Amino acid sequence: MSQFDFNNIITNTDSYKNCHYALYPQGTEYVSSYIEARGGEIPAGMFVGLQAFLREYLTKPVTLEHINEAELIAREQGMHFNRDIWMGILRDHDGYLPVEIEAVSEGTVLPIRNVLVQLVNTDPKYHWVTTFIETALIRAIWYPMTVGTIAWRAKQQIRDVAEATSDSEGLIRRVLHDYGARGVSSLESAALGGLASLVSFSQSDTIAGIVAAKRYYNAAYTSSSGPNTEHAVLSSWGRENEADAIRNMLETYRHVGVAIVLTDTYDHENAVKNIIGGELKEIVQNFPGLVGIRPDSGDPVQVTADTAEWLMESFGYTVNSKGFKVLPSFVKVVQGDGVTRHSFPRILMELERRGLAIDNAVYGMGGGLLQQVNRDTMAFGMKVNAICVNGEWRDVSKAPSGDGVKHSKAGRLALVTDGEDFKTVRRESVAPEENLLQPVFRNGKLLKMWEFDELIANSEKEVPESYYLDAVAEIRAAREVDSVTNGEVNSAASGVNA
């Protein structure tokens, strides 16, 4: 018996896809399909992940063993399976799927309701192939793009707060760290989500994401990390020896120049004030690099700001040109617990409300980054938009009366830009050179290879504020309230003094 290959594209689908080849109109020669993010809670997204799927799955041929495996599984289920059509692909195309795929450049940020990917079969005998791979292809795009979008939006929040509270340059890509490997559903999810996060941030402990960025996008340097303790290590010393456990960490990794210390194994406030800022104060002050203080419990909004202020009580602070307090460079807060796309802006807002610069903390996002998403977060869909029957193209679309979000686009599509915004139009309405969809795959071969640096560069291009305004609106509203409140307080104080 064979080993049953997870890379078998014939079984990387829903069972019912096996019966669809016979259900298209008689004379169907070509089927065009497209992918878009249709709605959900996010107005614009960063496209990423297609190349990983193409290289892992579609550049590898279907084999006789794959066909045998798929037939066995289908027949065990009582599902119809047409062996001849797959043997035809093996015979006519050496096992490579006869399909052409075009897509927008990876790393591009664009509004929802725009075409991202469009595909069509290249051999009329196999018109059904474009929709057969829907399950695998839509999953390969919705997941990394959703994770990449959450990371990109967090970067815009960081940028907004940094401009208001920080004098530091080069800060933005170092603020959010990917801690999602253990909280994600699979190794492949960690890989795809991890590489998507790395487009926006150069900090990660998700090794699978680093491997994926290198494997699929030829990434060179992707991220940094450093020694970071955990509760198993600290608690093994016993409560009475907590200070010794932390001292050991600082001494052991002094030569590295980074030591991230958990301080909530027992009593976080005591550890920060009396161990870090008391018994070990001199060691921390003389550490040749950064000592990160990591609370791992409590309300992340309050504990991040509280910890920063407790550290300032022990180690002092400076006030930057924007009037915000900044810890000495050798110590800062590392908040990795409870950080999600919903809590993160509130954490930043609380720091700013207390007059604390964004420099005072860095963050780790785990399951909130890589796992707390689904296909409906951005309402992804892949739909047929046109078919060619007996040499004539027909528009195809769906328009369910009960759900406008699920209305699909008709006709072969193109993506264009006016230099500021994007628009999806009919393919025949624009010159080919205006179409931002470019062929990336045909008949088993990559036509375009994106380098990871290109993804980063594309993601950092300036975009209209409307793409992320909802992500920073709460932060800006709180800033405005604080400004008004502080102005009223200062006016009242001036009146009293007068």
CATH number at 61 reads: 3.20.140.10
Domain end position, chosen among 336, 370, 404: 370
Q: Is 8 inside a domain boundary?
A: no
Which ranges in 199-275 belong to alpha helices (H)?
207-217, 231-235, 242-252, 268-270
Same domain, 337 and 418: no
Strand 361-365 to strand 318-319: parallel, antiparallel, or no bridges (unpaired)? unpaired
Question: How far are the Cα atoms of 28, 226, 408, 469 from residue 25, in angstroms, in the given order?
Answer: 6, 59, 20, 45
Same domain, 293 and 403: no
Length of the chain: 498
In the predicted structure, residue 296 carries a pLDDT above the cut 70: yes
Res 401: pLDDT = 85
Same domain, 265 and 161: yes
Tens of pLDDT, residue by residue over 117-171, are: 999 999 999 999 999 999 999 999 999 999 999 999 999 999 999 999 999 999 9
- Residue 403 labelled as part of a binding site: no
* Closest C-alpha among 285, 292, 284, 350 to residue 175: 292
Domain hosting 330: range is: 145-370
Q: Is 72 inside a domain boundary?
A: yes
For residues 490 and 498, what is the distance between their CA atoms, to the nearest angstrom?
12
- Residue 182 labelled as part of a binding site: yes
Q: Is 251 inside a domain boundary?
A: yes
CATH number at 211 reads: 3.20.20.70
Same domain, 124 and 198: no
Q: Is 474 inside a domain boundary?
A: no
In the predicted structure, residue 1 carries a pLDDT above the cut 60: no
- Residue 421 labelled as part of a binding site: no
For residues 443 and 101, what is the distance between their CA atoms, to the nearest angstrom?
9
Contact 148, 48 (CB under 8 A): yes
For residues 103 and 137, what is the distance between their CA atoms, to the nearest angstrom?
12
* Confidence category of residue 488, pLDDT binned at 50, 70, 90: low
Domain end position, chosen among 307, 339, 370: 370
In the predicted structure, residue 60 carries a pLDDT above the cut 90: yes
Same domain, 357 and 268: yes
- Residue 268 labelled as part of a binding site: no
Look up the pTM and report it. Answer: 0.95
Dihedral Cα 422, 152, 329, 483, nearest 10 deg: 70
In the predicted structure, residue 259 carries a pLDDT above the cut 60: yes
Contact 314, 278 (CB under 8 A): yes
| Range in 60-74, 194-208, 398-412 the model is least confident about | 398-412
Same domain, 344 and 276: yes
Same domain, 409 and 356: no
Domain end position, chosen among 307, 338, 370: 370
Same domain, 225 and 363: yes
* Confidence category of residue 483, pLDDT binned at 50, 70, 90: confident
CB contact burial 230-269 (16+ within 10 A = b; e otherwise)? eeeebeeeeeeebbebbbebbeebeeeebbbbbbbbeebe
- Residue 295 labelled as part of a binding site: yes
- In the predicted model, what is the mean pLDDT of residues 442-457? 98
Which ranges in 94-133 belong to alpha helices (H)?
129-132
Q: Is 382 inside a domain boundary?
A: no
Same domain, 199 and 270: yes
* Closest C-alpha among 61, 35, 458 to residue 448: 458
Our count of domains for the chain comes to: 2
- Residue 75 labelled as part of a binding site: no
Res 484: pLDDT = 76
- Residue 127 labelled as part of a binding site: no
Q: Is 176 inside a domain boundary?
A: yes
Res 220: pLDDT = 94
Same domain, 156 and 297: yes
For residues 444 and 430, what is the distance between their CA atoms, to the nearest angstrom?
28
* Closest C-alpha among 174, 146, 152 to residue 371: 146
In the predicted structure, residue 283 carries a pLDDT above the cut 70: yes
Res 498: pLDDT = 46
* Confidence category of residue 487, pLDDT binned at 50, 70, 90: low
* Confidence category of residue 462, pLDDT binned at 50, 70, 90: very high
Res 185: pLDDT = 96
Q: Is 100 inside a domain boundary?
A: yes
Q: Is 296 inside a domain boundary?
A: yes
By percentage, how much of the chain surpasses pLDDT 70?
97
- Residue 367 labelled as part of a binding site: yes
